[in-house]
C-alpha cells in the first residue's frame, strides 16, 4: 500500500487529504451517493493502516466503513471490537464529513467511529456533507460532543465536491 502513495510527512493533513481524494476518484459515479475517499493513519508512526472509498466493498458501503471492515478483517475481530486493536492515536481522514444518517439502513459512519472506544481521537474532513440526501448532517457535532476533534482541512473543497458529485443530476 505504501508504494501506491507519495511519502506524506507526519501531520501533513493536506497531503493525506489529497491521497484520500485520489481514493474517492476510484468510486463509481452514481446519482444516489457521494464519492468519498478515506484512510486511517496511526499518527504516532505516520503509518496508513487502511484505505477505502465509496462502494469499494460489496453492499452500499461508505469510504469510512470500508476502512473499518478491512481493519477488522486484518485483525481477525468484528467491527465492534476494532477499538481494542487500533492504535490509540489513530486519525481518520475523509474527504467528506462522516454521515449521521443512512437512507440504506446501514449504520451511519459517525456511529461506527463512536463505537471505536476513543481509538480515533481526530477526524480530518475535506468538506462538510452537502444537504442533498439527508438534510443537515449532525455527524460532526455528534463526534465533537463525544470528545473527538473534527478538523476541516482547507484548500481542496472545490475538487472534493467535483469528485463527490460526479454522476449527480442537478
Query: In terms of Cα–Cα distance, which of 46, 25, 50 is closest to 35?
Result: 25
pLDDT digits (tens, 9 = 90+) for 102-144: 777 789 999 999 999 889 999 999 998 766 655 566 888 899 9
Does residue 87 or residue 59 have the better pLDDT?
A: 87
Q: Which residue is associated with the grid cell 469510504?
A: 63
Mean pLDDT of the chain: 89
- Sorted by where each starts, the structural domains of the chain and their CATH numbers stand as 2-164 (3.40.140.10)
Torsion angle of C-alpha atoms 65, 114, 97, 25, degrees rounded to 10: -20
CA 28 – CA 7 distance, rounded (Å): 26
What is the percent of the chain with per-residue pLDDT over 70, rounded to a whole number? 91
pLDDT digits (tens, 9 = 90+) for 69-110: 999 999 999 999 999 999 989 999 999 999 888 777 789 999
Active site residues: 64
Q: Is the pTM of this model over 0.85?
A: yes
Q: Which residues pair with 51 in a beta bridge?
A: 39
Amino acid at each position: 500500500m505504501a508504494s501506491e502513495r507519495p511519502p506524506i510527512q507526519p501531520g501533513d493533513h493536506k497531503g493525506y487529504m489529497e491521497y484520500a481524494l485520489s481514493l474517492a476518484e476510484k468510486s463509481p459515479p452514481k446519482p444516489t451517493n457521494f464519492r468519498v475517499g478515506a484512510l486511517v493513519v496511526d499518527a504516532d508512526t505516520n503509518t496508513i493502516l487502511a484505505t477505502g472509498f465509496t462502494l469499494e466493498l460489496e453492499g452500499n458501503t461508505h469510504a469510512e466503513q470500508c476502512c473499518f471492515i478491512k481493519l477488522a478483517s486484518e485483525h481477525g475481530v468484528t467491527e465492534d471490537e476494532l477499538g481494542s486493536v487500533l492504535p490509540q492515536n489513530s486519525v481518520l481522514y475523509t474527504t467528506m464529513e462522516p454521515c449521521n444518517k443512512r437512507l440504506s439502513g446501514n449504520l451511519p459512519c459517525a456511529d461506527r467511529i463512536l463505537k471505536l472506544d476513543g481509538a480515533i481521537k481526530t477526524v480530518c474532513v475535506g468538506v462538510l456533507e452537502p444537504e442533498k440526501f439527508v438534510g443537515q448532517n449532525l455527524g460532526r457535532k455528534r463526534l465533537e460532543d463525544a470528545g473527538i476533534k473534527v478538523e476541516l482541512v482547507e484548500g481542496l473543497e472545490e475538487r472534493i465536491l467535483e469528485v463527490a458529485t460526479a454522476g449527480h443530476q442537478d
